[in-house]
Amino acid sequence: MMPFQKLTKRAQFLRVRGGVRAGRPTVLVEARRRAEDGPIGLGFTASKKVGNAVARNRAKRRLREAARQLLREHGLAGVDYVLVARQQTPDAPWAGLLDDLGNALIRLRADLNDAGATRPPSPTQRKPSKGAKSAAKGD
């Protein structure tokens, strides 16, 4: 049985955001490798788009239970996961939620195992630095 480590700090969530993602109708799952081995990191979030506080808490409770059931089988050791609730999460059929989460975890496992889980740089990372622009103009 793989232990879970709760993600609680904003910096942990932002770090995972820089990893790979798999979106499904009821859940968005973000993942990033932290270490080769160790506990699975797990965080949950639900924005106000999901609904009022009752709906957001229900969505997070459902995601917590689904993750408890599926991450032991589909999760990778040493990887942090963030499950983001969508508007459909609180009222989605349980089987559909489990299916969406399972499919997302399978996709992320494949992505994380491919080429060291490197994600293409974001558009802000692709821009050359100011020094590179001036050097290119001088040529």
**What are the domain boundaries of the chain?**
4-137
User: Using CA atoms in the order 25, 65, 56, 86, what is the torsion angle rounded to 10 degrees?
Assistant: -10
Q: Which CATH number applies to 4-137: 3.40.50.720, 2.120.10.30, 1.10.150.120, 3.30.230.10?
A: 3.30.230.10
Q: Residue 94 — left, alpha, or beta (φ > 0 → left; ψ -120 to 50 → alpha)?
A: alpha
- How confident is the prediction along the chain (139 residues), in pLDDT tens digits per residue? 567 889 889 998 999 898 899 999 999 999 998 888 888 889 999 999 999 999 999 999 999 999 999 988 888 888 899 999 999 999 999 999 999 999 999 999 888 888 454 455 444 444 455 555 545 555 4
